[in-house]
Amino acid sequence: MRVAVLGRPWMKIRFGYELVYACPQETPMILVLNVHPSRARDLMTPDDLKVSPNVPLHLYRDGFGNTCTRVMAPAGELTLTADAVIQDSGMPEAVDMSAREHPVSELPDDTLVYLLGSRYCEVEPLMADAWRLFGQIQPGWMRVQAVCDFAHDHLMFGYHFARPSKTAREAYTERQGVCRDFAHLAISICRCLNIPARYCTGYLGDIGVPVADSPMDFAGWFEAYLGERWHTFDPRNNQRRIGRILMARGRDAADVAISTTFGPNYLRSFRVWTDEVREGA
């Protein structure tokens, strides 16, 4: 459903998930499944996490500003669900060709951590290739977009290429991966070029594009700091999209894992949905 708000078209998006974990013993877990606080005011219904069986939940904010939940999963099955509605502008993500790069000496303090190497985003091993490939490209938006174009063309996408230990350098060498590998590679190259870049995860439905012939999943993309603010880039899809819903940000995927468990477990079932709510539906 689209409604006019101050002369602009707005849409409603229904989103959620159902995750079923099997734990052979009581297992502490950290979950990062809520919509990011920066989108909280857009929620039309709460995105409360529901658990079965009913066990205590403890919410907190991590060092990156993400909403996290601590839970002690009992032995047996634990089902996590949420189903909510959010309003969105219904407009494709903005392009700002005038957004400039900042010298490191001018960068805000809180962006500097996103210039450093991290668990999945190495810097030193890719430094020479990054400057060889992109050093002569006009700094700013055009250079970051060129990095996205390269990652999009260099890597072959496939869910069977997923590997939890795969780093940006390995994706670069193997030339294949999933959305998080596309993002990790682009992030690493941007950091090599002294452009702060951070990993993002969330929902991205097939709104305004052909419906993908694959099950819905959470998506990974990144943000680059240009022109005194953060901008969204998506090397996997490599186009401005409608209806992206941010859940969490961090240095790389290790900081925003949907679940971090401290004991043996098995993800028995996984469903994600994010769809435009159409008039009369």
Note every long-range contact of 125-128, with CB atoms under 8 Å and residues 24 or more positions apart, other chains counting: 125/169, 126/168, 126/169, 126/172, 126/188, 126/189, 126/192, 127/192
Segments in the chain below pLDDT 50: 1-7
**Domain span at residue 49?**
2-90+258-276
Radius of gyration of the chain (CA): 19
The whole-number pLDDT of residue 191 equals 98
Same domain, 117 and 237: yes
What pLDDT, in 10s, does the model give residues 163-176?
999 999 999 999 99
Same domain, 114 and 193: yes
The whole-number pLDDT of residue 264 equals 94
The whole-number pLDDT of residue 281 equals 54
Task: Identify each DSSP E strand in 24-121 by its residue range.
Answer: 27-31, 50-52, 57-61, 67-73, 76-88
Residue 96 lies in a domain: no
Same domain, 232 and 124: yes
pTM assigned to the model: 0.94
Number of Cβ atoms within 10 Å of the Cβ of 36? 20
CATH number at residue 126: 3.10.620.30
Residue 159 lies in a domain: yes
Nearest-10 crossing angle of helices 141-154, 127-134: 110
Same domain, 220 and 126: yes
What pLDDT, in 10s, does the model give residues 186-237?
999 999 999 999 999 999 999 999 988 888 899 999 999 999 999 999 999 9
The whole-number pLDDT of residue 34 equals 98
Same domain, 37 and 86: yes
Residue 60 lies in a domain: yes
The whole-number pLDDT of residue 4 equals 42
The whole-number pLDDT of residue 174 equals 97
The whole-number pLDDT of residue 8 equals 52
The whole-number pLDDT of residue 1 equals 41
Number of separate domains in the chain: 2
DSSP string, 154-223: HSEE-GGG--TT--HHHHHHHTEE-HHHHHHHHHHHHHHTT--EEEEEEE---SSSPPPSS----EEEEE
